[in-house]
Amino acid sequence: MLEQLGRSVSRGLLWSSALSLALMMGILTWQVFSRYLLNTSPAWAEQTALILMIWMTFLGTATGIAEGFHIRIVEGVVSLPQPWRQRAIQGANLLIVLAGVLILVLGGQLVAATWGNAVPTLPLTRGMVYLVIPMSGGLMAAFALAKLVHGEEIAGSAGSA
């Protein structure tokens, strides 16, 4: 049940990241078109694209942890003999859990500190924009904790050995 929920959340995050990328590219295309062909530039375009990039990056990072496509070095781990390989995998997952908790806590502090700071040209505050940071940290910690509990094997370039 929890695995299915985690998979659904991960897929939703992946689609959200893809949508953010598509919107960001559309907005930047419109901004360039407006600036060079219409001699005007929409004031909201740059800040909106920046916000979409921030959200896409953090949501994509959490998805990378869940789906196992985050950046990692596996060649050294797969060459280890079996109790050490599993220990290395568990150690890496534990470090990701700790990093996720740290991002959650420090991201929450950043949100609180910037909640009243206005985003130029948009009816948002910086705190609203940065809400994705603690959300992403919590999701990364949860996804890595699930991998830690299940002792998941590292996928990726292990098949190239």
Tokens of 136: 């992403």
Q: What pLDDT score was predicted for residue 74?
A: 67
- Mean pLDDT, rounded, for 37-43: 88
In the chain, where are the structural domains located? 2-155
CA distance 140 to 133: 10
pTM metric for this prediction: 0.82
CA proximity to 59, closest of 116, 98, 101, 20 = 20
pLDDT digits (tens, 9 = 90+) for 68-123: 776 666 677 778 888 888 888 888 889 999 999 999 999 999 999 999 999 888 99
Do residues 125 and 90 lie in contact, with contact meaning Cβ atoms separated by under 8 Å? Answer: no
Residue 132, exposed/middle/buried by CB under 10 A (0-12, 13-18, 19+)?
buried
Q: What pLDDT score was predicted for residue 142?
A: 92
